[in-house]
Amino acid sequence: MLAIQLRSRPLLVTFLGLIAGLSSGYSWVNLLWALLLIPPLWKSPKLAVYSCAILFGVLIRPDPSIRIAVPGGRIDGVFQVVSMPTSVRSRSVSVVEHDGRRYRLYQPLDSPLCLGDRITMQSAVVPLWEKAVPQHGEIAEIRPLRPIELARRGWPIWRWSLAMRRSFVSFVQETSSSHLVGLTEAMCLNVTGDLGDSLYEDLRTTGTIHIVSASGLHCAVICLALGWLLAMLPMPRWAQLGVLTVCLVFYAAAAGLNAPIVRSCIGMVVGFSAYLFRREPDPLTALSFAGLVTLVFEPAQVADTGFQLSYLAVASLIVFCHADWLTAMIANKTKTGPKLWLAIKSNLVVSGVLAPLIAFSFGAVSLVSVISNALILPAVPIVVAGGLSAWAVSWFPALSMGINKVLTEPAAAFILMSVETTANAPIASAEVPAYSAHWLVLVYALIVLLWKPDRMPP
């Protein structure tokens, strides 16, 4: 069964081969795990594709040694801004690159620095804050010793996206209740600067941290809203797809261009593009294409926990739940009972599949994640759609305020109450002893053996 699924998806085979090759940069032993896919691909042309992808991954594999920095040094020269700025503790945070190494740079919230800018500065290298989680492979913090000089601007689209984010944040801070500002900003545009340590820890404890990382659910809400609006206009399908793609690029950039949102946007565009060629969209192929684009341009993402969790969560839904959802939609089984069961099953599948990786990465696993996610997920689209819609019509104050008070704030308040309640459960999470990453491969190899061919509806 596995052989049939792999041989019919060359992009998936290429993606898996690239991951194996890139992983060799951290340990050559990782290449031995690539042998697991040789039997199902044996005597198939896809075996050559798989081998070439592994070889290409080995050639562009990241060098772990560049992740080692010596705090206390000094760097003078030209830096490239390689990330969209985010906000942390009332400061703007960007990732800059110099001589193949990446550093975190803190600036005032109104800093004009943006993705693609080239800057010149004299700086001191210091260790990252102990609770800082690297998002783009940064190894240390740099602190300017003199004013930064801008040598060249990046593409205007990144600056426009940053302006969009700052406009949204300003709108939320002016119109929302103070205790809901941080949650609304984080859920709509991945702005976590006002989230607060206590709430952030509650989200991690309850396994609901994903709601403050713009991803597939957020893209789906935007696509549905834009699709509904575009359907009322006399536009051909290809033009609608073009408008949708531009809007998703702006949204992804405004949300920070992190792995989950990049994956979601690329996957959505690839999936919708299939209809232009009169082909049925294949979610695994779209996911693989998104992963290939990400890893080719940023190979170090292969070791990023956010990248791994994002792709693994979506893959688990596609493999174990996609056919059930497709059957229900085509058969028009829209009653509450079947839909509720499918939602529960999806929740259980994602929680179960991600548990080993979460335990390995964070040393603990949530025991209330299934309950927490079941409570809050219906309210997440309301907050995202309501928050962005209220901002979009902010030139009509009455309408904007109505959307906020009737939709966004009640839904955000319910999510906040649910997360705080489940986080305070007597046994909300359990610590897990450290173990080798090689056990993860064995665990997920056994999970893959449960993969069965899609039960396509008649």
**Domains parsed from the chain with CATH numbers:** 2-61 (no CATH), 66-154 (2.40.50.140), 162-448 (no CATH)
User: Nearest Cα to 354, choosing from 317, 328, 326?
Assistant: 317
Q: Is 181 exposed, middle or buried (0-12, 13-18, 19+ CB in 10 A)?
A: buried
The torsion of the CA quartet 127, 129, 132, 135, rounded to 10 degrees, works out to: -30
Q: How far is CA 388 from CA 191, 221, 246, 269, 358, in A?
A: 13, 10, 17, 21, 31
CB burial string 382-417: b at 16+ within 10 A, e below: bbbbbbbbbbeebeeeeebeebbeebbbbbbbbbbe
Q: Is-contact 286 417, C-beta < 8 A?
A: no
The torsion of the CA quartet 75, 80, 85, 91, rounded to 10 degrees, works out to: 20
In tens digits, what is the pLDDT along the chain, a chain of 458 residues? 677 778 888 999 999 999 999 998 888 888 888 888 888 888 889 999 999 999 999 999 887 765 555 556 888 999 999 999 987 767 888 999 998 888 999 999 889 999 999 999 999 998 887 666 666 778 888 999 999 999 999 999 999 999 999 999 999 999 999 889 999 999 998 888 778 788 988 988 998 888 887 777 788 788 878 878 888 888 888 888 888 889 899 999 998 888 888 888 888 888 778 777 777 778 888 889 999 998 998 888 888 888 888 888 888 888 887 655 544 444 444 454 555 667 677 888 888 888 898 888 888 888 898 899 888 988 988 999 999 999 999 999 999 999 999 999 999 999 999 999 999 988 888 888 888 888 888 888 888 877 665 544 43
Q: Is-contact 227 272, C-beta < 8 A?
A: no
Cβ neighbours of residue 306 under 8 Å, at least 6 residues apart?
Answer: 135, 213, 258, 259, 260
Amino acid at 258: N
pTM higher than 0.75 for the full model?
Answer: yes
Return the structure tokens found at 334: 């829209």
User: Nearest Cα to 148, choosing from 77, 49, 217, 89?
Assistant: 77
